[in-house]
Amino acid sequence: MNSSSSNQSEFDYLFKLLLIGDSGVGKSSLLLSFTSNTFEDLSPTIGVDFKVKIVTVGGKKLKLAIWDTAGQERFRTLTSSYYRGAQGVIMVYDVTRRDTFTNLSDIWAKEIDLYSTNQDCIKMLVGNKVDKESERVVTKKEGIEFARKYGCLFLECSAKTRVNVEQCFEELVLKILDTPSLLAEGSAGTKKNIFNQKPPQADASAGSCC
């Protein structure tokens, strides 16, 4: 019926991870680089709901459902369902465009706080396009300071050369595995919910009718 129902026994945990950040920073490229080991010059409008990748990290077999936007971030119209149930969020900026860095604190970090349903959701700040070193305007130090202030992990990477791409996902997932409250959410009982993305209506209506 859905992509999670057929092979639930083949992994220990299912995690929902999100990619957010301004249009053009390289979210879709990072996802493609991670899931298919290739880099293509993508049309800026390309996007998917999510891609799935099975990885083994810390001795656990994990099914990662990684959500990407379909370009709607340009209009700042990501909905709460995009964020719902995520155990990890990757906040991406382009090291050659300062506005994409400042928008993370001005806009995207606020959206995470507003919509995130997991209080302990792990955040990872990612400065992408380090292959364009000569065009860099955001320093590594600034990234480190942002990450310290917002309590997130931090890495610089390039979807083009694939430097640090796997590490971005791996470090995020290792931290999730280290956070017991997130493991409860990603374990057997709630696997389907992550894919179905249904709001918890059953509970809400039962509570409000009497």
The footprint of ligand GDP (CB under 6 A) covers: 23-29, 41-42, 44, 128-129, 131-132, 158-160
Question: Is there binding between residue 28 and Mg ion (CB under 5 A)?
Answer: yes
Q: What minimum distance in Å lies between the beta carbon of 22 and ligand GDP?
A: 7
Owner of token pair 């991406």: 92
> Rounded CA gap, 140 and 148, in Å?
12
Q: Which is nearer to Mg ion, 27 or 123 (CB)?
A: 27
Paired sense of beta strands 60-67 and 88-94, if any? unpaired
Q: What minimum distance in Å lies between the beta carbon of 131 and ligand GDP?
A: 5
State which residue has the least CB distance to Mg ion.
28
CB 95 within 8 A of CB 137: yes
Q: Which is nearer to Mg ion, 27 or 84 (CB)?
A: 27
> Rounded CA gap, 144 and 149, in Å?
9
Instruction: Output the furthest CA–CA distance in the chain (Å, rounded).
Output: 64
26 binds, among Mg ion, ligand GDP, none (CB under 5 to 8 A by kind): ligand GDP
CB 124 within 8 A of CB 165: no
143 binds, among ligand GDP, Mg ion, none (CB under 5 to 8 A by kind): none
Can you give the binding site for Mg ion, defined by CB under 5 A? 27-28, 47
